Amino acid sequence: MPPSPSQTLNSSTLPPPMSDRDADPNLDVATGVAMPYNIDWIFPRLRNPSKFWYVVSQFVVSAVGIFSKVVLMLLNKPRVYNKERLIQLITKRPKGVPLVTVSNHYSCFDDPGLWGCLPLGIVCNTYKIRWSMAAHDICFTNKLHSLFFMFGKCIPVVRGIGVYQDAINLCIEKAALGHWIHVFPEGKVNMEKEELRLKWGVGRIIYESPKIPIILPMWHEGMDELLPNVEPYVIQRGKQVTLNVGQPLDLNDFILDLKKRQVPEPTARKLITDKIQEAFRDLRAETEKLHRERN
């Protein structure tokens, strides 16, 4: 029998997450170096998109969606388990209810590449495709790159400065609007494929969303062969990719109980993230087996 929330609370030994409330916004705490590019102008545009933003975003999303579809579905050999479950939750979930998908992160092409398995009506629709966080020091290093990723519905996240930052705040705001948000809770491309402790930002998004999101875990194998994590970083052909869409996590009662008992926010975030970590563990074993059986 799994431990109760109160039992989990008593056994928690992890320190509270670092808060960036007093962090220097001009420094990347993860590296201790200056921010490569000022991203402050991006957030107002993502928070309140203009009609012009939607027009340009539609072009960018469509171009990226078609490219991803060609690479994944035509040039390589994907197999997607439970794809209809993902499609149904994107297109037919109750109005106003946000969707938070979570997956492992093995390649820089995971997003947008994995979405190439979706119908064109989703992958080429800026109103339906996900919001996703992207590393500020990789994707938002100059004006041109920032515009591209901004119109592609990517939110710049500063790794290492904690859960109290604009990227997480904006994800919570998008969740309040009932949007789809994809999160890589490992927080980086996991090249060693270790079982990393998941970052608690995803726990904050879920816990502070006005409506409890539908939480959908996914696991994939083979994307690091489609786009290897070594130079010259060239997309490959003929690689097997396996994507396994898990069962939605039913955490409604669990989250409501945390709020009712007024559990401290850092602890609540950790407990929610731990649930995702447990789901990942089972889904990973299942997906690795499915992927091996294809070889």
CATH number at residue 111: 3.40.1130
Distance (Å, whole) CA 206 – CA 255:
9
Question: Is there a domain that residue 6 lies in?
Answer: no
Question: Is there a domain that residue 3 lies in?
Answer: no
Question: Is there a domain that residue 8 lies in?
Answer: no
What is this structure's pTM? 0.88
**pLDDT score for 26:** 53
**pLDDT score for 24:** 47
DSSP class of 193: -
Total number of domains constituting the chain: 1
Distance (Å, whole) CA 203 – CA 171:
12
Q: What is the pLDDT of residues 82-131, one digit of tens each?
A: 999 999 999 999 999 999 999 999 999 999 999 999 999 999 999 999 99
**pLDDT score for 154:** 99
Question: Is there a domain that residue 35 lies in?
Answer: yes
Question: Is there a domain that residue 17 lies in?
Answer: no
Q: How does pLDDT run along the chain (295 residues), one tens digit per residue?
A: 444 444 443 333 333 433 333 444 455 544 454 567 899 999 999 999 999 999 999 999 999 999 999 999 999 999 999 999 999 999 999 999 999 999 999 999 999 999 999 999 999 999 999 999 999 999 999 999 999 999 999 999 999 999 999 999 999 999 999 999 999 999 999 999 999 999 999 999 999 999 999 999 999 999 999 999 999 999 999 999 999 999 999 999 999 999 999 999 999 999 999 999 999 999 999 999 999 999 7
**pLDDT score for 27:** 54
Nearest to 206 by CA among 172, 183, 178, 179: 172
Question: Is there a domain that residue 222 lies in?
Answer: yes
Nearest to 271 by CA among 16, 9, 18, 13: 9
CB 204 within 8 A of CB 133: no
Give the domain range for residue 183.
Answer: 23-293
Residue 145, class by beta-carbon neighbours within 10 Å (0-12 exposed, 13-18 middle, 19+ buried)? middle
- For residue 91, give the amino acid letter: T
